[in-house]
Amino acid sequence: MADALIKKLEHFVRLSSLDKEVLGRAAAERVRKLRAHEHIVLEGDKPKVIYLVLEGWACRYKHLEDGRRQIVGFFLPGDLCDLNIFILREMDHSIATVTRTMVAEISRTTFEAILDGHARVTQALWWDALVTMAIQREWTVNLGQRDALERVAHLLCEIFIRIRTAGLSRGKSCDFPITQAELADATGMSTVHVNRTLQELRSLKLINLAGRVLTIMDLPRLMQVGMFTPNYLHLDREGAYLDSNE
Amino acid sequence: MADALIKKLEHFVRLSSLDKEVLGRAAAERVRKLRAHEHIVLEGDKPKVIYLVLEGWACRYKHLEDGRRQIVGFFLPGDLCDLNIFILREMDHSIATVTRTMVAEISRTTFEAILDGHARVTQALWWDALVTMAIQREWTVNLGQRDALERVAHLLCEIFIRIRTAGLSRGKSCDFPITQAELADATGMSTVHVNRTLQELRSLKLINLAGRVLTIMDLPRLMQVGMFTPNYLHLDREGAYLDSNE
DNA sequence: CGTCCCCTTGAATGAAGTCAATACGCGTGG
DNA sequence: CCACGCGTATTGACTTCATTCAAGGGGACG
C-alpha cells in the first residue's frame, strides 16, 4: 500500500521491517478512491487528517478572487500533505485530485503514535517535510527567475526524478497525466505558451510527451536547459547513519 | 532577547512565564552580531545550528549558475530558520543578512531539550513552521499569478503585517531597510520596474517609502490591490485551546 | 570634494499573453 | 458504423507588460 512512500523514504534512511509495517498499517487505515478533478480539501476547511497519496496525482492550489489559479505543488504517489496540519484552524489552500486517485487518510492519533514510538520513521518523515519545503522554495525560484523554456524543463526534471524516486518510472519514461492547462497553472504561464514551449523542447529532441506519457530523451541536457540541480531533493541517503541494521 | 519571537508565537498560544524563559535562554545561548550583507550560511554548508533573528533583516536566497538570484524569503526579527534542519547533509540554499543583524544560534541539544520538555512551546514552533510553509506557498502564488503592481503590493502587506505581529511597527509605519534591487530579487522583477511600480503605488496614495521607512497610508486598499488575504498567516490565536492559564 | 551606491527616467526591445480560429482524438449514442 | 460533441492541443496575428540599455541625479560618507 505505502510502497511508494517507503521507497521514497528509503532514499533517506534504511527502514526496518517493523518501520515499514507501521507505515503500511497507517496507510491502510482508511483508504478513499477518488475520481479525477475532485477536491479533497478546500481552503477554509478544518484540517482533520493527514493525506497520503497512494496512486494517481493530486495538487495543491490557491485561487485568487478573480479566478486565476496557481498550482503550488503536485502530490505524486508516496507524497504526504503537511504533518501536524491539524494544529491549524483552517486550510489556507485547497487540494484536489488531478487523475483518478487513491488516498489514505491518516488520523491524528495514528500519526502521533508513529511520532511517539518510531524514532527512525519520525526522522524520515521530518526529512520528507524538509524536502517538501525545499521543493516549494525551488518553485519560487523557478517562477521568479527562469524563462518559459527553463521553467518547463526544470519542472519536468523535478517530476520525473520524484517519480523515479518512488519507483514508478519505466526507463526514460513515466506517466504524465496532466493537461497543458494544468501545466500552465503550475508554471504561471498561459496554455498557449506552454504548448509552444513543449514544442520547442520536443524539437530540441529533449523530450517526448504524448498520450499521458513523458519520455525524457536526454535527461542531462534537459537538466542543463532547466538549470536543474537535484541537491534540493536530498536523495543521497543523508540519514544513512540512522539505518536499520536488521 | 527573544521578544519578537515570543510576541509572534503569542498570536498562536499564550505562553507561560516558564515557556518564555526557556525561549529567552535559548536565544541568549550564543549571539552573533553581523554586518549588513554578510552571509550566514552558504548553499552546500552542513547545517549545524538553528538561527533565530533577534534584530535586523536577513534573507534566504538561491543563485542560478548564471548569476541570477532569487530571494525566496525574508527573515524578520523573531523568525527562525527551519527546525530540525540538521537532519540534512547540506544546505540547498543560502542565508545572508540584509541589514546589520543580531542572530542567536541555537544548538541541536538546546533545541531538542525544548521539544522534549515543553509541549506548548513545541506546538507553537510547529505552528510557526507551518506558517513559514504557507508563506512560501503564497510567494509561489505571488510570482506565478500576480502582475507587478499586485505583486509588490502583496509583498508590502505581508511584510508590514509580519513586522506588526512581532510588535515592531509604529502606527502605519515600519522599518523597511531593503533596496529596490533586493525587492527586485524577491519579486522576480527588474530594478527598473520595481522603481516604477513603487512610484505607481505612491501616486495612488497607498504607500510612502523613503529613507528606509515604509508607511502604508491605506492598508485596506493596498490589500485589495495586492489581493492580500492574511488567512495564510494564521494569526487568530488558533492555538488558544492550549493557552497557559497562569 | 569626489566617489559610491541607490534611485530615477526615457527609449528601444523582447518575451509572453490574449484572442480567435482550427484541428485532433476519443467516447457516446443514434 | 458513423456522426456528433467535448475537452485538449495547435496555430497565427496582434497586443501588452516588463526587461534592457543607457544616462543622469542625489545623498551619505570618507
Give the tens place of pLDDT for each residue, B27-74. Answer: 999 999 999 999 999 999 999 999 999 999 999 999 999 999 999 999
- CA-nearest residue to A139 within chain B is B140
Instruction: Please give the grid coordinates belonging to residue B68.
Output: 541570477
**pLDDT confidence of residue B140:** 98
**pLDDT confidence of residue A105:** 97
At residue B246 the predicted structure's pLDDT band, cuts being 50, 70 and 90, is confident
Average pLDDT, chain B: 96
pLDDT, tens only, A146-178 = 999 999 999 999 999 999 999 999 999 999 999
Average pLDDT, chain A: 96
Q: Is the pLDDT of residue A246 over 90?
A: no
**pLDDT confidence of residue A211:** 84
Apex CA A179: angle with CA A175 and CA A180, to 5°?
120
The secondary structure of A47-112 as a DSSP string is P-SEEEEEES-EEEEEE-TTS-EEEEEEEPTT-B--TTGGGSSS-SSEEEESSSEEEEEE-HHHHH
**Whether B93 and A62 lie within 8 Å, measured CB to CB:** no
| Residues in chain A within 8 Å Cβ distance of B227 | 64-66
CB–CB contacts below 8 A, A to B: 124
Apex CA A139: angle with CA B188 and CA A13, to 5°?
145
> CB of A29 within 8 A of CB of A138?
no
Q: pLDDT > 70: what percent of chain A?
A: 100
pLDDT, tens only, B152-202 = 999 999 999 999 999 999 999 999 999 999 999 999 999 999 999 999 999
At residue B1 the predicted structure's pLDDT band, cuts being 50, 70 and 90, is confident
Q: Is the pLDDT of residue A183 over 90?
A: yes
| Burial (Cβ within 10 Å: 0-12, 13-18, ≥19) of residue B66 | exposed
How confident is the model over A15-42, as a mean pLDDT?
96
Q: Is the pLDDT of residue A145 over 80?
A: yes
At residue A18 the predicted structure's pLDDT band, cuts being 50, 70 and 90, is very high
Q: Nearest CA to the C1' of C10 belongs to which residue?
A: B192
Residue positions counted in chain A: 246
Helix, strand or coil for residue B92?
coil
Query: Residue B197: which nucleotide is closest by CA–C1'?
Result: D18
How confident is the model over A27-43, as a mean pLDDT?
95
Sign of CA dihedral A161, A163, A168, A174: negative
Could you identify the residue written with the cell 508607511?
A: B215
pLDDT, tens only, B108-127 = 999 999 999 999 999 999 99
Q: How far away is chain A from the Cα of B146, in angstroms, using its nearest Cα?
A: 9
Q: Is the pLDDT of residue B128 over 90?
A: yes
Q: Is the pLDDT of residue A208 over 90?
A: yes
**CB proximity A190–strand C (7 Å threshold):** yes
Q: Is the pLDDT of residue A82 over 80?
A: yes
How confident is the model over A59-73, as a mean pLDDT?
96
Q: Is the pLDDT of residue B211 over 90?
A: no
> CB of B102 within 8 A of CB of B32?
yes
Q: pLDDT > 90: what percent of chain B?
A: 98
